[in-house]
Amino acid sequence: MENVDLTEQWRSMQRMFLPTSAISASLKENARNFWEIQDKLLNNMQAVANGWFNRRHVGTNAAREAAERMCTTDTLVDFGQAYQNWARGAFERVIEDCQQQITAVSDALASPPLAPSVGEKETEPARSETRTPARSKATYQG
């Protein structure tokens, strides 16, 4: 078996298949932007999830406290007041969940997934806005 220099083969394949340096810089910039956006998206999703779990903990503690108050009340009015206080807090947490989801979706839609890099914008040729219809080279000879 012959000794094969894989490093040199890899460099040769890179030169053969990978784009020129101008395009390579553009691809590098797009790749960096893509992964930065992915990281930002994960951070936002984590913040939404953490907020949801925090509100659930607050909700379970509030439900436990309300249950304790309702079990120790002397009157039906006190019982109803304890339940109403718990229900109001539960409703506020549901509204906050909805607001968090709306904010997360609007933030995700606000930043485009990939934008052309600066190099692409500068090197892209200007296109004419007026277009002439393409003509067919074949003609009918009837």
Per DSSP, the residues of 63-90 read HHHHHHHHHT-SSHHHHHHHHHHHHHHH
- The answer to whether 126 and 36 are in contact (CB under 8 A) is no
Give the pLDDT confidence score for residue 121 in this predicted structure.
Answer: 52
Total-model pTM: 0.51
Domain assignment present for 118? no
**Percent share of the chain, pLDDT over 70:** 70
| Single-letter amino acid, residue 130 | T
Helix-, strand-, coil-residue percentages of the chain, each rounded to 5: 75, 0, 25
Domain assignment present for 41? yes
- The answer to whether 70 and 105 are in contact (CB under 8 A) is no
Judged by average pLDDT, the poorest of 5-14, 61-70, 99-108, 116-125 is 116-125
* Domain encompassing residue 50: 29-108
Domain assignment present for 81? yes
The two tokens of residue 7 are: 């490093």
The two tokens of residue 19 are: 């784009």
Domain assignment present for 124? no
Give the pLDDT confidence score for residue 33 in this predicted structure.
Answer: 93
Domain assignment present for 134? no
The two tokens of residue 21 are: 């340096």
Domain count, the chain: 1
